[in-house]
Chains A and B, each alone.
Chain A
Amino acid sequence: MSWLPLLVGLAAPPAYLDPGSGSFLIQLLIAGALGAALAIRMSWSRIKGFFRRKESPPPDSEKHGE
């Protein structure tokens, strides 16, 4: 991650867009749940991927099996 040190001390240019108070605050409200949902979905697909890998033969043997 060679770009990380560049972030340190970087002065952010001012945001020009008005995010809107309501649009800002609702994100605080919903982001936790949406983040959790994403995390669950990702670990679920990881679990499924783990078992699928175990069940199916490795791709190499498929290639040579014909």
Chain B
Amino acid sequence: MGSSVRSGASFRDPSGFLFVRDGTLFRQVNPSYRATFDQLEQSGLYADLVEDRLLIPHTLADVAPAEPMAAALVLRPDPVAFISYPYEWSFSQLQDSALATLDIQQRALAHGLSLKDASAYNIQFHRGRPVLIDTLSFEVYREGDPWVAYRQFCQHFLAPLALMSRRDVQLGQLLRLSIDGVSLDLAVRLLPWKARLNLGLLTHLYLHAASQRRFAGAEVRTAQGTRRVSRTGFLGLIDHLRRTVAGLHWDPGRTDWAEYETMHNYSPAALESKRRLVAEYLERARPSSLWDLGANTGAFSRMASERGIATISFDVDPSAVETNYRSVRASGEVNLLPLLIDLTNPSPAQGWHHTERLALQQRGPADAVMALALVHHLAIGNNVPLPQVASFLADLAHWVIIEFVPKSDSQVKRLLAAREDIFADYDVEGFERAFSGAFELRHHEPIAESERTLYLWEKR
């Protein structure tokens, strides 16, 4: 038996915790939670949620707990291919996660249980859809009690969604600043005045924030007291939150990147040649996981995901990620996860002890990365020397499918239009020299009717 490593993100709730042993993820359930856990199964809620793909399935694991003194059970949850965070999601991904949370809460109430937390970090995209991964998020519902997770739901979901929808989609990045969502105080100061005219936002953000200011630190003892929230009131609250969240919209609109696929400089023959080469390299490398960096709306990512490869489409443009996610959702794709990442400033490790949320790199490596029409944006757009591009990619994957775009290409000319060309080493020789350090060249071939070359590199 190998040693157990307790997850750095799993310490707030005394009901149990996650640990990894011999590469397998387990969840220990502590005795204080045993009765509630049994309730989840016996009430039929577990079966209901798993059947509709709202909760991650688990099996009882016949292994020694990580902390035997404090253990009642050990579960083995189905593995999630990639852990992503709300600040890496597009508007609709966050919205669908919010609606999934409320759906789960409504079903829980029908089974005599209630969510005791509503953290966006408890939702993960698993085979294309948002699912709750924290099996210990339930408590027995006691009529009269208000929803203990109301504040958390508004901070993690409603406030960022309202800001993205009513002010600017980039404000979703506020989730990266604070570990517990966007404070309502900040949200109402950033929202436009008109947002007050939406009854849901007025109630759950403005009045809620005012109540927080007015009653900060006030003593509340409601469960046994006279003032209570009836069951109907509780259901009304959840239903109203659902209608408020569902009523928010954001249209990806037309940005340079979201339209890229219709306005790039490839001829049909060049595009066909590029597709043929990508297919050939995928057949050769046969990766089981692939990260497509600078994926735009995912046209090339789909060449991998449709081959059954667990694929992530990373892009810096919220519109591209949103468009990509809407396609995934519309056609029920299970192998493709679109995520918002700025490669020049990727998600860092953060939270308590730098271990609650992992950096992008810590969540790898993938078997393969694909970097099509990307290298000039890193090397020229962001001044990263080519050897450092190579060492970054070497940290991410074993195989690299990469397109070299020379200075003679119209897209590079555009990048250099207003600035001095300080990139003496940016040519085919410099590129091959930079990658030869960490990689072995497996194949390279020019893309027909273009200035570009597609390379397949394997890590030494």
A residues whose Cβ falls under 8 Å from a Cβ of B: 2-4, 6-7, 10-17, 19-39
Contact = CB atoms under 8 A, between A and B. Distances in A.
Contacts of B170: none
Contacts of A36: 232, 236
B150 A19 contact: yes
Nearest to A3: B43
Interface of B: 12-15, 32-33, 35-36, 38-39, 42-44, 111-112, 116-117, 139-140, 142, 146-152, 154, 203, 207-208, 211-220, 222, 227-230, 232-237, 239-240
A interface: dominant SS: helix
B236 A17 contact: no
A15 B151 contact: no
Given A10-B35, A13-B15, A20-B212, A35 B232 contact: yes
Nearest to B35: A10
B152 to A, nearest CB: 6
Contacts of B216: 21-22
A63 B304 CA distance: 45
A33 B218 CA distance: 23
Contact of B236 (A19, A29, A31): A31
23 contacts: A2-B42, A6-B38, A6-B42, A10-B39, A12-B139, A12-B140, A14-B32, A15-B139, A16-B116, A17-B148, A22-B215, A22-B216, A23-B151, A23-B154, A26-B211, A27-B229, A28-B227, A30-B237, A31-B146, A31-B233, A34-B203, A34-B233, A34-B239
Contacts of A10: 35-36, 39, 140
Given A6-B39, A28-B229, A20 B151 contact: yes
A27 B240 CA distance: 12
A23 B36 CA distance: 25
